[in-house]
Amino acid sequence: MSLWTWKDPGQGALPLRYEPGNWGDILKGEWLCHWLAHWSAEQLVYRDPFCGRPDYPLTQSTADRLEGCPAPLYRRHVNQRLPSSASLVQLEASRLGLTVQAQLSDREGAPDWDIPCQLLLFDPYDFFEHWRDWQKTLEEACQHSSVLVYLYNKSPRGVGQFRNYQELRKSFAPQTPWIGRVAADAQLPRAYHEVWLMGRWRSGPLEKALRQASLDLHLYLAAMGAWQT
Ligand SMILES: C[S@@+](CC[C@H](N)C(=O)[O-])C[C@H]1O[C@@H](n2cnc3c(N)ncnc32)[C@H](O)[C@@H]1O
């Protein structure tokens, strides 16, 4: 039986709207590590405007989820605590010998949006609902940055949500995002976790690595949902 719990009491009083280390965090973390592995310069300007905390408690359900799951690059950096993406990028970059200049904040205040970065992680909680507010900013960012977006795709919940998703996809079609998608839960997939990569520095080898990482995680989750004893 799967040990996944949707709401983990171990989160305690943390004011979070999701469980750190959910399948989306795992996919996003694995993609970030692959992106870094394919970055050819020695320095990187990384922007994370919704960075959250530096790290999170490692709950039992997250530890269980990570055990044996095919996300070797992300798992390497999980010990007693679960790193945020900003911490993960720093840890994996150090391992690779890269120097990172990180621009971190946890609100979308405008002042430094104009500072160019090479990798932008864009993962507010509510992109699925408020993507129109961000479309122009992201289109512009794609001109000079790699843009990695996390999306909690609620399409399985009904026609209205699916239509919203279709409109979102159509609006970003000119950016030709690469999209990795896994079910939010093996037994009760009420949503999908998606990670998109748009913008600059998208190479063939990177595409191959991201596709394989997404497929591995998808198949692992599908197998967990397909058979239970
Ligand atoms: C999914 S979490 C980001 C996690 C982090 N980037 C990571 O990968 O570890 C979303 C974050 O965005 C922030 N956030 C979401 N919507 C926001 C808003 N409208 N204004 C300010 N911050 C927001 C929340 O505080 C939260 O830390």
User: Is the sign of the CA dihedral 29, 34, 38, 41 positive or negative?
Assistant: positive
User: What ligand 1 atom has the least distance to the C-alpha of 29?
Assistant: 8
Quick check: CB of 21 below 6 Å from ligand 1?
A: no
Residue with tokens 């399985």: 156
The domains located in the chain, with CATH, are 18-226 (3.40.50.150)
Ligand 1 pocket test, candidate residues 35, 104, 106, 153, most atoms within 8 A of CB: 106
Which residue CA neighbors atom 5 of ligand 1 most closely? 51
Quick check: CB of 51 below 6 Å from ligand 1?
A: yes
Ligand 1 pocket test, candidate residues 16, 50, 91, most atoms within 8 A of CB: 50
Supply the pLDDT for residue 9. Answer: 52
Which spans in the chain are helix H? Answer: 23-37, 60-66, 72-75, 85-96, 127-144, 159-171, 204-226
- Per-residue pLDDT for the chain (229 aa), expressed as one digit of tens each? 233 233 455 555 566 788 899 999 999 999 999 999 999 999 999 999 999 999 999 999 999 999 999 999 999 999 999 999 999 999 999 999 999 999 999 876 655 666 789 999 999 999 999 999 999 999 999 999 999 999 999 999 999 999 999 999 999 999 999 999 999 999 999 999 999 999 999 999 999 999 999 999 999 999 999 998 8
Residue with tokens 């992106």: 35
Which residue CA neighbors atom 17 of ligand 1 most closely? 124
Supply the pLDDT for residue 133. Answer: 96
Which spans in 72-126 are helix H? Answer: 72-75, 85-96
Supply the pLDDT for residue 203. Answer: 98
Quick check: CB of 48 below 6 Å from ligand 1?
A: yes
Helix (H, G, I), strand (E, B), or coil: what is residue 48?
strand
Instruction: State the Cα–Cα distance between residues 162 and 97, nearest whole angstrom.
Output: 42
Give Rg (Cα) of the chain: 17
Instruction: State the Cα–Cα distance between residues 38 and 41, nearest whole angstrom.
Output: 9
Ligand 1 pocket test, candidate residues 77, 91, 125, most atoms within 8 A of CB: 125
Q: For the whole prediction, is pTM greater than 0.85? A: yes
Would you tell me the crossing angle of helices 204-226 and 23-37 to the nearest 10 degrees? 160
Supply the pLDDT for residue 16. Answer: 78
Quick check: CB of 123 below 6 Å from ligand 1?
A: yes
Separation of CA 24 and ligand 1 centre (Å):
14
For residue 102, what are the CA distances in angstroms to 85, 112, 121, 169?
Answer: 11, 12, 11, 29
Which residue CA neighbors atom 9 of ligand 1 most closely? 84
Separation of CA 226 and ligand 1 centre (Å):
33
User: What ligand 1 atom has the least distance to the C-alpha of 121?
Assistant: 6
Quick check: CB of 19 below 6 Å from ligand 1?
A: no
Supply the pLDDT for residue 1. Answer: 29
